[in-house]
Amino acid sequence: MKSRPDYRGWHPAYIVEKLPRLWEKRDTGRRERYVLTCIALVNWTDQGVKNVRETLARTEAVDKLVDDFGIKNWRLYWTMGPHDLVSIFDAPDDKSATTFVLAVGSGGNVRTTTMRAYDRDEMSEIIEKLG
């Protein structure tokens, strides 16, 4: 009688169970691989400028939103030039990043232009795919 092959490592249920761990373990140095980095160029609306003295309190309110959307490494810089603030953050996926930025903008104090940013390792992978 033939013995059955051992499929434990390849059984679909096993693979599905292990999937989240597959990308969580990869590390590019400062952050986990599945995280995407975003840069948001932020401008105050008329309402935001009128209430500029409350900018620090509004920032504290955003600090509380960060965990709700799975945002990591959130940084905010007040700037001089064409943009009033610049925010850099890591998000688990595009939907979380978009929801976070929309939640911040829904207060009516800022407008944002958000860009997906790639680090050196991610850009290397993109270049490799070009062939």
How far apart are the C-alpha atoms of 31 and 36, rounded to whole Å?
9
- CA dihedral (58, 96, 33, 120) in degrees, to 10, reads -70
CATH of range 36-130; options 3.30.70.100, 3.20.20.10, 3.40.50.300, 3.40.50.1370: 3.30.70.100
pLDDT one-digit tens code per residue, 33-61: 558 999 999 999 999 999 999 999 999 99
Do the Cβ atoms of 37 and 116 come closer than 8 Å?
Answer: yes
Q: What is the mean pLDDT of residues 107-126?
A: 95
Q: Per the structure block, which two tokens stand in for 49?
A: 């400028």
Return the bridge partners of 112, or none.
42
Average pLDDT over residues 74-88: 96
Q: Summarize the confidence of residues 17-24 as an average pLDDT.
A: 44
Average pLDDT value over all residues in the chain: 83
pLDDT at 1: 55
